[in-house]
Amino acid sequence: MTPKELQELLYRENIKLASVSKRAIAFMIDELLLSLVFVIALWDGISGAKNSIEMIESIQSATLYFVMVKIAYQTFFTYKYGASLGKIYMKIKVVDINTLEYLDFFSSLNRAIVRIISEMFFYLGFLWGVLNPTRQTWHDLVARSIVIEN
């Protein structure tokens, strides 16, 4: 579906795209929640570190787990509720561009994985969404999804 066709569909169905600011706030809420969980999980290793090197090693050893938790979090909430906790709070949701329904499991998983990849590449995929007329980030394009007002 081209961006123009998508915009026509949204107009015809009276659906409003989520604003960039709402998406940014939802992102920050999710990142803060996940970071809090990460700090709590690592607290013993961080507080027990004798120096900054040990603290960094403790954090580095858990980085892969943190990435896996982020993927699981995004996949689960997008699949089950159509939105992460941040998106739920901001009253926006992720839907499939063809059905305008919640994403299936594999689309949710793909979206979560590409979201991490986008973060690894200096958030370029998010910038893409800001510049895109349908506000689709890289992870939205891969999952064939859009984020709309709830």
Task: Express as a percent the part of the chain with pLDDT over 90.
Answer: 86
Find all residues with CB under 8 Å of 93, minimum gap 6, and list them.
81, 82, 83, 87, 102, 147, 148, 150
Single-letter amino acid, residue 90: M
User: pLDDT tens for residues 51-81?
Assistant: 999 889 988 989 999 999 999 999 999 999 9
Predicted local confidence at residue 120, as pLDDT: 95
Mean pLDDT of the chain: 95
User: pLDDT tens for residues 99-109?
Assistant: 999 999 999 99
Query: Helices 20-47 and 63-81: crossing angle, nearest 10°?
Result: 140
Flag whether pLDDT at 49 surpasses 90.
no
Angle CA(110)–CA(40)–CA(89) in degrees, nearest 5? 55
C-alpha distances (whole Å) from 29 to each of 36, 63, 129 are 11, 20, 19
Nearest one of 149, 112, 143 to 22, comparing CA atoms = 149
Q: Can you tell me whether residue 40 is helix, strand or coil? A: helix
- The predicted model gives 32-55 an average pLDDT of 90
Predicted local confidence at residue 47, as pLDDT: 86
pLDDT band at 122 (very low <50, low <70, confident <90, very high): very high
